[in-house]
Every structure is written in structure tokens, then in C-alpha cells.
Amino acid sequence: MVVEGAFNALFRPGLRDNFLDSYQEYEPEYNQFLKESTTSLPEVRATIIAGLSRFYERMDGEPITYDTPKQGPVVMGVDKEFGLGFMISRKTVEDDQYGKANQSAKWLGHAANMTKEYRSAALLDDAFAGATFLGIDNLSLINAAHTLINSNSTVSNTPSAQIGFSMTAVTSFFDLAQQMKDENGDPVKMFPDTLILSNGAADWQRALQIFGSDKEPFTAENQDNAIRKRLPTPKIIISRYKSSTKSYFMIDSKLNDAHFVTRRPLTFDDDFDFNTDAALYKATMRFLIWFVDWRGWLGSNPS
């Protein structure tokens, strides 16, 4: 509980008006790589169906061969509830000369935004380990051996060499996109159009050079920039909330199957304690972060 002793400076005149009690936030980041939706159900379920792949050759008068589509496992996601409260004594509110001790809505709103951002960034930090988030193949979001429902082959969405962000890395991402397969092992179109970088000036500067120059950067030959011709204007996201400073990703926004599902939006409540004369404020929300299909993502995690 906030009582007079904790905020005693607010009870006397002479303090400047600017208390630096809040700063401008960045625009929301999580909804730039997670698709937002809502649900009224206590759990969310999904599966993938592998349809038919190829025709069988047929001789004259030979009966048709009938095949059966295959369904993958049913995966389930359950939301988590988050909450935070704030208590302040009546005397503190009455004696505050600046109206700064009780800013529950602003502080709780900021905390809610940060919760969404850090929880969403946890998907990026776990993308290679799969300790928390697993897809329909029970593997991490980024993996060198994704299994398929109707094929014995595997598919990788990470380069064999985990190198830092560079021209070579972006080229390898495009090569992986060209090798993408569906659940039958057949080629599927993937076109990465979004880049997620760590919060570092070097990678951001390098991305601007790679995608902003008509000529190939970092070389003396002055040849045409093939990457820019393949992807002229990608969306660049600087991830300021993930822990890893090395990992980076490219996403096909159409194939992206990572979601932020709201079960209960941010809700504010307040009450009053008769015995202590304390004002009570709280905010709660429920949401689920999950993915089922990994195909929309490419990633690298250099050491």
C-alpha cells in the first residue's frame, strides 16, 4: 500500500512540475509479428490436413486409385491470466499537493503494455529451443528438421550455418524459402516480406544498406543488388523486448501462423477498503500466444 511515508515529498510545496513519472512508449511491436484475434472459449484447438498430392498413372480400363487425405494431430492452446493491483491510503491522496501519488490507470496501463510486449517477445527467444512454444510437429518454431504429416522428408527453416545478419544470411533465407514444402513434401510458395532484427544499431544499419541500395553493398564490384530486386521494400521490425541480441527472423506475412489471442481484454476495477480507508485499483487480462504451422518463419541464431 502507498502511504504518506513513501510519498512524503508530495505533501510540501516547491517541487517542479515535471516528475518524469512516465515516458513516451514505442508503438506496439507484438502485433507486427503476431496476428491478433479474440476468443470466447476456454481453450483453442487446431489441426492441419494434408490433401492429395499427385495422380496415379492409369491403364486403359483400369479402375481409379482412391487415396485418403491425412489429418495431423490436434493441438491445443490455453490462455494465461495476468493481473496487477495498486493500493493507496486516503490520507496520501488528500495530502498530495501535485496529484501525482494516485495515477493508477496510467501506471497499470503501461504495465499491461509491457506485459504484452515481453510475453510476445518470449516466442522469439524460445523460437530455437522450443522449451515453451511448440508447433504441430512438436518442434520449435525454427528448426532444421521439421517433420511432415504425409511425407518422410524433413524441412528446415534455418540456415545450416548460423551466421550473423548479412547479405549472405539474407540470401540463405531466400534459398530456404524457395525450398519450402507442404505436408505432402510438395513445393509451396513462400515469400518473406518482414524482417525482425535485434535492438542493435549495427544490424539496423546493415539492413538499410542491404535493402536500400541499388548496388550491392560491402563490395567493390559495383554490381546490381540482387536482394533488392527480389525484395525491394521489406517491413523492418526492431525487437526491443526479446533477450537475445543475436537472433533475427524473416516472415511471410501471409503464411505466418503465430497468434496473439485475447480471451479477456484489459479490464480495470476499483474498490474501497472500509477498515483501512485505502483505495484499491486492479487490472487483469487473459491472452494466449501460440503458433501451429511453422512455415511462415525463417530464423537464425548465431552465437
Give pLDDT tens digits for 248-287. 999 999 999 999 999 999 999 988 888 887 888 899 999 9
Side chain identity, residue 300: S
pLDDT at 18: 55
Q: Given this model, what pLDDT does residue 180 score?
A: 97
Q: How many residues does the chain have?
A: 303
**89 part of a folded domain:** yes
| Three cell numbers, residue 148 | 511432415
pLDDT tens per residue across span 36-71: 999 999 999 999 999 999 999 999 999 999 999 999
pLDDT at 10: 45
| Arithmetic mean of pLDDT, 134-162 | 96
Question: What percent of the chain shows pLDDT beyond 70?
Answer: 84
C-alpha cell at position 110: 503501461
Looking at the domain assignment, is residue 25 inside a domain?
Answer: no
- DSSP state string for 259-276: EEEEEEEEEEEEEEETTT
283 touches 112 (CB < 8 A): yes
Euclidean distance between CA atoms 257 and 297, whole angstroms: 9
Are 141 and 130 in contact, with CB atoms under 8 Å apart? yes
In terms of average pLDDT, the best of 28-37, 164-173, 211-220 is 28-37
Residue (of 22, 229, 250, 46) closest to 114 by Cα position: 22
Mean pLDDT of 123-141: 97
At 223 the three-state DSSP class reads coil
Within-domain flag for 71: no
The pLDDT of residue 12 is 46
pLDDT at residue number 13: 56
pLDDT tens digits for range 281-296: 899 999 999 999 999 9
Task: Using pLDDT thresholds of 50, 70 and 90, give the confidence band for residue 11.
Answer: very low
> Residue 123 and residue 287: Cα distance in Å, rounded?
14
Query: Quick check: helix, strand or coil at residue 82?
Result: strand
pLDDT of residue 178: 95
Residue 5 lies in a domain: no
Helix (H, G, I), strand (E, B) or coil at 202: helix
Higher-confidence position of 21 and 40: 40
Q: Do residues 191 and 296 touch, judged by C-beta distance below 8 A? A: no
**Average pLDDT over every residue of 134-153:** 97
Per-residue pLDDT band for 91 (boundaries 50, 70, 90) equals: confident
Closest CA to 186 of 138, 139, 151: 151
Q: Judge whether residue 9 has pLDDT over 50.
A: no
Average pLDDT over residues 154-172: 93
- Is 22 part of a structural domain of the chain? no
Q: Name the β-bridge partners of 262.
A: 38, 287
Contact in structure between 128 and 161 (CB atoms under 8 Å): no
Contact between 230 and 245 (Cβ < 8 Å): no
| pTM, entire model | 0.87
CA distance 110 to 219: 45
pLDDT value of residue 4: 47
Average pLDDT value for residue range 204-216 = 79
181 contact partners, CB below 8 Å, separation of at least 6:
148, 151, 153, 155, 187, 188
222 within domain boundaries = yes
Number of folded domains in the chain? 1
Q: Rounded to an integer, what distance in angstroms lies between the CA atom of residue 140 and that of residue 134?
A: 5
User: Taking the alpha carbons of 247, 253, 259, 260 in that order, is the dihedral positive or negative?
Assistant: positive
User: Residue 117 belongs to a domain with what CATH number?
Assistant: 3.90.1690
Residue 16 within any structural domain of the chain? no
Instruction: Decide if pLDDT at 84 tops 90.
Output: yes
Arithmetic mean of pLDDT over the chain: 87
Confidence at 222, pLDDT banded by 50, 70, 90: low
Domain enclosing residue 84, as ranges: 30-58+78-300
On whether the CB atoms of residues 72 and 47 are closer than 8 A, the answer is yes
pLDDT of 274: 84
Whether residue 115 lies inside any domain: the answer is yes
| Model confidence pLDDT, tens digit, residues 236-252 | 999 999 999 999 999 99
